[in-house]
Amino acid sequence: MQQKRQRKNAISGIKEEKFREELVAEVEKDFENRRAARLRLERQWELNMNFLIGNQYCDVNRRGEIVDEGSEYYWQKNDVFNHIAPIMESRAAKLSKVSPTLNVRPKTDDDSDARAASLAQKLLISAFEEENVMAAVRKVTVWSETCGTGFYKTVWNDKGGAIIGDYKGEPVFEGNVKVIPVSPFEIFPDNLFTENVEDCASIIEARAVTAAQIKEKYGVDVVGKKINVFGLKNGETGASSDGKDVLDDAVIVIERYERPTANFPKGRLITVADGKLLYYGELPYANDKYGGRTYPFVKQECVKVAGSFFGLSVIERLIPVQRSFNAVKNRKQEFLNRLCSGVMTVEDGSIDVDELAEEGLSPGKILVYRQGAKAPELMSGFSMPSEFNGEEERLVNEFVRISGVADVSSASANAHLTSGSALQILIEQDNERLVVHADTIRDCIVKVAKQILRLYNQFTVNLRAVKLADKEGKIRTYYVEKSAMESDDAYIENENELLFGNRQKKDAVFDMYKSGLLCDEEGKLRPAIKEKVLELLGYKELDYKKGISRLHEQKAQSENETIRKKGLAAEDIDDHRIHIDEHTRYILSEYDELGEKEKENLYAHLKQHKEMLEIKKGEEENDG
């Protein structure tokens, strides 16, 4: 019986080993096929990177290789007049203004769901601050602007967050989310013509990782080599020619994510490196709607292309213009050199031509020519053609037209403008051309925020402490229950910053104040409104009450449940107007859920505030 069991185990082990080998071979072959299909796009990305850094005399040959293009003649100038770099810097500066105010929408209108959504928002804000998510946004934006596409990868870091204990001498962490910027060179969809990440049957993430990191994470020994981090090939250079894109003692780690199917309801994740299976299992994160599992990636595109997984970079449109501009500037410089140095005609045999070619025409030089021969002379009739300047100006305008970025504050460009309002209108029009790109970034941030909340809901056991600075600058600790993390409907409160920036907000506030929209029924600006206006204008330090209206709101909100259960007396210290508004709002929002006794308690408390407010008004009138 024991021999039979041993034989059965041996057969099972052989089958498992064969399955692992076949699976590794399948994934590696799949990766090679996807890499070959995407080679043309990779070369375009590398060409974009070369033009961005100033290596602008290169191109992709028929074999799909990046090659340098030399001068046709030894005397031709090949200087680079890089307009692409400042254009991309200007675009990055404008897009960096995207700073969304995230909030979480409650499931219902109940106060309990509203409080849960408020706590979820605080958790989200804390995660963005602790993990510096906006830095990842800027990095992904650089990739999307350069190559056309960038990716966010939202994962759970078991060693993140605070230490909550120890196990066998090792610290135990509460864990935290981590948002990783991923370059397009590392993402391989199963179909290049699938537009959305969610629609792909599978996605491969392949990257170069050192052998030491593989050993630390998976406990598997692999043989490292020199790997090109862009082309993911052994020992080859890609976009750079100095070898800086080569990682030593590394292997290519292939992670194939497969979306849930009937056979695999939770999807699959297969990790392979150096011919070895490192991981095989279901998708690790419940990061889809309703607790489902999906890819941990969010795609950000510069210019969306219909019927294509990868987007288009503005650099691709600028490259032909940049080539023409370099050619015009260099030919213009060569022409100026001819004007300055001159082109000399010499009768054959009249002078030492080699000496003249070597030394040129230096000031005071004596030319000795053969007696009876024609004297050397400079060719005349040279002048700078007007076509040079016209073409140069046309190309500069072409840069602006294609990129959507113009220096509207330039005095030379706007010498005819004398009004500050006119310049402001031009700036707003210039920003409007980037609104679509800014909206894309904002949409990606919302998707990342939703995945963050879902990961917290998946990995948090009970409570999670969140520390945030309130508007008075005090550090407060909030305890977020797991139930609050079920609110994952994140959204952005503020308008697109490129359309409605701080200046427009301030102007709108002034207009509302002048029209009386901010005043109450008595025509007065209430202290709570004044406090918020000063904060919006950036002068909250001028508020002599130092946020006391907000504190009254918080006090009234915290009193609601107590009043509902057992009643509570109003206090002289209360701002009765604010308390009346907050308690009334609570009664209306919970009206259908309130019992008769609870209504009596709330109505009695409201009556006290109204009576005390009338007394206070009478005292103020008598004092006046």
Task: Please return the burial class of 56, using the count of CB atoms within 10 Å of its CB with bins 0-12, 13-18 and 19+.
Answer: buried
Percent helix, percent strand, percent coil in the chain, to nearest 5: 50, 15, 35
Q: How far apart are CA 153 and CA 451, in angstroms?
A: 10
CA dihedral 443, 448, 452, 454 (to 10 degrees): 70
Q: How far apart are CA 132 and CA 180, in angstroms?
A: 10
For residue 350, give Cα distances in angstroms to 356, 375, 379. 12, 8, 17
pLDDT exceeds cutoff 80 at 299: yes
pTM comes to 0.76
pLDDT exceeds cutoff 60 at 113: yes
Q: How far apart are CA 149 and CA 195, in angstroms?
A: 12
Indicate the helix (H) or strand (E) that contains 583.
helix 576-589
pLDDT digits (tens, 9 = 90+) for 525-582: 776 677 677 666 666 655 555 567 777 888 888 888 888 888 888 888 888 888 988 8
Q: How far apart are CA 182 and CA 205, in angstroms?
A: 9
pLDDT exceeds cutoff 80 at 70: no
Tell me which DSSP letter residue 291 carries: G
pLDDT exceeds cutoff 60 at 324: yes
pLDDT digits (tens, 9 = 90+) for 118-144: 888 888 988 898 889 999 999 999 999
Structure tokens at 296: 């941990």
Are the CB atoms for 609 and 583 separated by under 8 Å?
yes
pLDDT value at position 37?
A: 92
For residue 618, give Cα distances in angstroms to 152, 578, 624. 61, 18, 10
Helices assigned H by DSSP within 370-434: 386-403, 420-432
Are the CB atoms for 478 and 468 separated by under 8 Å?
yes
φ/ψ of residue 331, rounded to 5: -65, -35
Q: How far apart are CA 128 and CA 486, in angstroms?
A: 18
pLDDT exceeds cutoff 60 at 421: no
pLDDT exceeds cutoff 60 at 489: yes
CB atoms within 10 A of CB 30: 18
CA dihedral for 408, 409, 410, 412, sign (positive or negative): positive
176-182 β-sheet, strand order: 176-182, 149-157, 297-301
pLDDT value at position 25?
A: 92
pLDDT digits (tens, 9 = 90+) for 174-232: 889 999 999 999 999 999 999 999 999 999 999 988 988 888 888 888 888 888 777 67
For residue 226, give Cα distances in angstroms to 140, 210, 241, 333, 342. 26, 10, 15, 43, 53
pLDDT digits (tens, 9 = 90+) for 232-275: 766 554 444 445 678 888 889 999 999 999 999 999 999 999 88
AA letter at 276: K
pLDDT digits (tens, 9 = 90+) for 325-344: 888 888 887 777 766 666 66
Strand partners, 468: 476
pLDDT exceeds cutoff 60 at 419: no
3-state secondary structure 468-494: EECCCCCEEEEEEEHHHHHCCCEEECC
Structure tokens at 8: 């059965």
Q: Which residue has the higher pLDDT, 613 or 267?
A: 267
CA dihedral for 441, 446, 447, 453, sign (positive or negative): positive
Across the chain, mean pLDDT equals 80
Helix/strand/coil for 210: strand
pLDDT value at position 499?
A: 66
AA letter at 452: I
Are the CB atoms for 160 and 175 separated by under 8 Å?
yes
Q: How far apart are CA 440 and CA 299, in angstroms?
A: 10
Q: How far apart are CA 464 and CA 466, in angstroms?
A: 6
pLDDT value at position 239?
A: 41
pLDDT digits (tens, 9 = 90+) for 16-53: 888 888 999 999 999 999 999 998 999 999 999 999 99
pLDDT exceeds cutoff 90 at 383: no
pLDDT value at position 5?
A: 56
